[in-house]
Amino acid sequence: MELVKHHKDHTKDELLEMLWHLGEKGRLTLNSLKETDPENIFGAALGELAAAGTVQIEGDRISLTQKGQATARDIIRRHRLAERLINDVLGEKAKNPDLAACEFEHILAPELVDSICILLGHPRTCPHGKEIPEGACCRAAKDEIKSLVMPLTELKIGVAARVAGINTKDEPRMHKLLAMGITPGTSVKVHQKYPALVIEADQSQIALENAVAEEIVVWRPAEK
Ligand SMILES: [Zn+2]
Ligand SMILES: [Zn+2]
Ligand SMILES: [Zn+2]
């Protein structure tokens, strides 16, 4: 693959990528960096990043500042999405996928990153199993999924909806609800909300505490 050549220096980006990897391994220190970069190719870049307030160095410890984290996160996101793209689309045909991904991340326009993420279905990991940092598109997709369901307490009186799940960590309560026939797929209706919440499930009426009803998640019925 012939890649577009341009003159921007990527040393700082590559160093940030390296620091992120060390951070993931819990070894973000000058010593570990020295092991990774024995010829000190990134020495000058590290000084520049420190001067720019992107990294902080205290003794042997390196830390990314908030600004540094945001920048590094973006680079890693681009790199791992590029890996996914190369792996999923080119597969076996990719000659040197690791190198291609690293080149790719530099030429990927920021506004294209989310489009690729959407195209790939917001993948959570790269082909090596490492986490791809979330983008705005991933968060929006999650919200959309969230809006497909709602707590039973939000259901209007008399409107039928199917149970999507029970969202409780309280196991006895979960079993009790299941025993009452409130299982995923069951059609339920709110019969009354006051003075007590009464629902209709499978032709029987069940009174529920509000706190319990809030944990029952139903598929949002189509608006009429
Ligand atoms: Zn890279
Ligand atoms: Zn990877
Ligand atoms: Zn996404």
28 C-alpha vs ligand 1 centroid, how far in Å? 18
Mean pLDDT by 10 residues, the chain (224 residues): 52 93 95 95 95 96 96 93 84 70 76 90 90 93 79 92 87 87 92 90 89 89 72
What's the CA gap between 151 and 217, in Å, rounded? 4
* Predicted local distance difference test score (pLDDT) of residue 94: 66
* Predicted local distance difference test score (pLDDT) of residue 43: 94
61 C-alpha vs ligand 1 centroid, how far in Å? 23
135 C-alpha vs ligand 3 centroid, how far in Å? 5
What's the CA gap between 7 and 132, in Å, rounded? 27
44 C-alpha vs ligand 1 centroid, how far in Å? 19
213 C-alpha vs ligand 3 centroid, how far in Å? 32
* Predicted local distance difference test score (pLDDT) of residue 223: 67
Please tell me the number of the ligand nearest to residue 139's CA: 3
127 C-alpha vs ligand 2 centroid, how far in Å? 5
Please tell me the number of the ligand nearest to residue 97's CA: 2
79 C-alpha vs ligand 1 centroid, how far in Å? 5
* Predicted local distance difference test score (pLDDT) of residue 93: 67
* Predicted local distance difference test score (pLDDT) of residue 109: 80
* Predicted local distance difference test score (pLDDT) of residue 176: 87
85 C-alpha vs ligand 1 centroid, how far in Å? 13
DSSP β-ladder status, 204-208 and 55-58: unpaired
140 C-alpha vs ligand 3 centroid, how far in Å? 8
Q: Which run of H or E residues covers position 216?
A: strand 216-219
Q: What angle do CA 15, 16, 18 make, to 5 degrees?
A: 65
| Concatenated DSSP letters of 132-155 | PPP-HHHHHHHHHHHTTEEEGGGS
Please tell me the number of the ligand nearest to residue 135's CA: 3
Please tell me the number of the ligand nearest to residue 100's CA: 1
Residues with Cβ within 8 Å of 49's Cβ and at least 6 positions away in sequence, in order, are 12, 15, 16, 55, 68
* Predicted local distance difference test score (pLDDT) of residue 168: 81
12 C-alpha vs ligand 1 centroid, how far in Å? 11
